[in-house]
A and B are shown apart, each in its own frame.
Chain A
Amino acid sequence: MSPLEVLRFALRGLAADRLRSGLTVLGVLIGVAAVILLVAFGNGSSEQVKKSIQRLGADSLTVSPGGDGGGGVRAQARDLTVKDAEALAKSPSIRSASPVVSGQSAAAAYAGTSGTIDRFIGTTPDYFAAASKTVAAGTAFAAGDGNVVVIGSTVASDLFAGTDPLGKKITVGGIRFTVIGVLKASGATSGGFSDPDSVAVAPLAAVQAGITGYGALDQIVVQARGTGAVDAAQAEAGQILLQRHGTADFTVATQAGVQSAVSESSRTFTVLLGAVAAISLLVGGIGITNIMLVTVAERTREIGIRKAVGAPPGAILGQFAAEATVLSLIGGLLGVAAGVAGSLFTIAGVKPVLVPSSIALALGVSVAIGLFFGGYPAARAARLRPIEALRHE
């Protein structure tokens, strides 16, 4: 009895009830496709977040208020000020330090058209270089400019729809800003997070006057003198601010640090998605056990006949184990096809990025599931006593 022969019997057994075999395959297919697709989705969204962080520039650091783990010193925490920024800018490893205030979801209007700007940033001219913002049309503002604004590409298309925005005046928070430049589109699709191109950058004083008020800074964006000086800049910034504030009521984060924190959380996200998908794969496996138990019960008489004409227990075991494995293998392969095909589409703004190991894992697990979950019914079939199996109606 060659293994090929056993496989032939198994295929014939599966072909006998195509609908049932198809539905069982579907269960595994969905499980495998879900694993591949959800892991790709999680991976894609984490790549996207990483890319948007990288866009800030590898040589930049951000100083934000609030220490990490400082416990009960909140009451004494001092705000970040423009003076802090000026002090930082004098440090040897630091090229520039731009104070940043930002207003969220600012309503903007131009000649009867209105729109919302996700982030309205008030800062100094150095910010453009530090945050890797490139002006595509017009110019960036210079120190001492009044109510002028550089808008992101989304804002430009929302408010001006086709016409040239340069020189036009938009009203935000009751203040009229003259558009002097348009930022280059960041190129990122608008993901689950805010659209990076729905942004406007204006001089600090103008934004504080009209939108955010004269409170504390939201952050200071620091640009180091080259990517090699990032660590030195981080240390210097920490020292200077500690000196000025007395306590560590601030955080200096490099892009690398932010990146690792974000990738940490997105990995958790991916694992969570994968776990949910793994459950559906498990359900598919239980479907195989279920259908194989039914099959063995239904074909008890056939098993008896096969045994009577001389099928050894091993051949019966092999046949039913092969039936289960073929079901799960076909389901696995179709699931891979469905997962790969599905990952070509953008889902909720996230472009899934396939993880090759997830494909191998899902396929391997599905075959293992077939063997494992099909093994029990197959062993039951092999153990049947021929006379009882033959008597079975």
Chain B
Amino acid sequence: MTGAPVLDIREVTKVYGSGDTAVHALRGVSLTVEHGDYVAVMGASGSGKSTLMNIIGCLDVPSSGDYLLDGLHVGGLDERRLAILRNRRIGFVFQSFNLIPRMSARANVELPLAYGGVRAAERRRRAAAALREVGLADRARHEPNELSGGQQQRVAIARALVTAPTLLLADEPTGALDSASTADVLAVFDRLARAGRTIVVITHEDEVAAHAERVVRLVDGRVA
């Protein structure tokens, strides 16, 4: 497992629909991400970024080609196994934060642990640690609507980190943030990358891509 790359995508295609109306979102994308990499996937809208993100995140399955996550074949897994994979291996950060309303920051961060079957005391400890890591230890009891956009996104990052996933997958993480919050969030990513985390950021902003060690550009469903 340690020898295998975190992401090993081989000639993956994704086709929506069929016949004349078929949309080829991905036309054979190959991508390898090693442990500790900080990769930015860039592309204009319609380039297939979101489709790639869904496939990497095990939210969708490719039409053809192979996808190995941590050396494990993802194709052909059922919904239940995909859920377990998402829970243990992947931490998501979304553009629109996607925190559950009316649940405190800590409860939101604990959520993946709850589905992972971690005991309550352990969950609390790890959630507190994750919130400390993003600098929000003092906001644990606040609900999402009591937090600023930047703070919400940092809670979302804490939630993504809390299971110690092999891959942190961020989809336009700064798309809904002002410049100060953007800087906050990017600083958190930088720190995580230095700590050896594997991060894939999907973005169309050069400013965000500039923080990454490697930039992959998607054009019309292919790596340019």
Please tell me the number of chain A residues within 8 Å of chain B, measured between CB atoms: 23
Question: Which residue from B54, B83, B102, B103 sits with its C-beta under 8 Å from A310?
Answer: B83
Q: Mark A1-19, 1 if CB is under 8 A from B, else 0.
A: 1100100010010001000
A348 to chain B, nearest CB (A): 47
Q: Known interface pairs A386-B59, A387-B54, A387-B59. Does A310 touch B98 (Cβ–Cβ under 8 Å)?
A: no
Question: Is the CB–CB distance between A16 and B115 below 8 Å?
Answer: no
Q: Known interface pairs A387-B59, A390-B94. Does A313 touch B80 (Cβ–Cβ under 8 Å)?
A: yes
A308 at the interface (CB under 8 A from B): yes
A306 at the interface (CB under 8 A from B): yes
Question: Is the CB–CB distance between B116 and A310 below 8 Å?
Answer: yes
- Nearest chain B residue, comparing its CB with the CB of A6: B114
Please tell me the number of chain B residues within 8 Å of chain A, measured between CB atoms: 27
Q: How far, in whole Å, are A196 and B171 apart by their CA atoms in the complex?
A: 84
B111 / chain A contacts, CB cutoff of 8 Å: 306, 309
Near A by CB (< 8 A), chain B positions 128-148 give none
Question: Is the CB–CB distance between B103 and A1 below 8 Å?
Answer: no
A190 to chain B, nearest CB (A): 56
A305 / chain B contacts, CB cutoff of 8 Å: 98-100
Near A by CB (< 8 A), chain B positions 89-117 give 92, 94, 98-103, 111-112, 114-117
Q: Known interface pairs A1-B117, A386-B59. Does A309 touch B80 (Cβ–Cβ under 8 Å)?
A: no
A314 / chain B contacts, CB cutoff of 8 Å: 80
Q: Mark B72-88, 1 if CB is under 8 A from A, else 0.
A: 00000001100110111
Question: Is the CB–CB distance between A16 and B57 below 8 Å?
Answer: no
B84 / chain A contacts, CB cutoff of 8 Å: 310, 312
Question: Which residue from B57, B98, B115 sits with its C-beta under 8 Å from A1?
Answer: B115
A312 / chain B contacts, CB cutoff of 8 Å: 79-80, 83-84, 115
- Nearest chain A residue, comparing its CB with the CB of B163: A310
Q: Known interface pairs A306-B111, A314-B80. Does A16 touch B88 (Cβ–Cβ under 8 Å)?
A: no
A176 at the interface (CB under 8 A from B): no
Question: Is the CB–CB distance between A16 and B102 below 8 Å?
Answer: yes
Question: Is the CB–CB distance between A302 and B115 below 8 Å?
Answer: no
Question: Is the CB–CB distance between B80 and A308 below 8 Å?
Answer: no
B117 / chain A contacts, CB cutoff of 8 Å: 1-2
Question: Is the CB–CB distance between B83 and A390 below 8 Å?
Answer: no
Identify which of A12, A308, A311 gathers the most chain B CB atoms within 10 Å of its CB. Answer: A308
A95 at the interface (CB under 8 A from B): no
- Nearest chain A residue, comparing its CB with the CB of B86: A310
Question: Which residue from A5, A301, A302, A386 sits with its C-beta under 8 Å from B114?
Answer: A5
Question: Is the CB–CB distance between B59 and A309 below 8 Å?
Answer: no
A119 at the interface (CB under 8 A from B): no
Q: How far, in whole Å, are A309 and B80 apart by their CA atoms in the complex?
A: 12
Q: How far, in whole Å, are A16 and B101 apart by their CA atoms in the complex?
A: 9
B184 / chain A contacts, CB cutoff of 8 Å: none
Q: Mark A277-319, 1 if CB is under 8 A from B, else 0.
A: 0000000000000000000000001101111111111110000
B222 to chain A, nearest CB (A): 22
B220 at the interface (CB under 8 A from A): no
Which 4 residue pairs are nearest across A and B when measured between Cβ atoms?
A: A310-B87, A309-B112, A312-B83, A310-B115
Known: A308-B59, A310-B163, A313-B80. 5 other contacts (CB 8 A): A302-B100, A305-B100, A308-B92, A312-B80, A312-B84
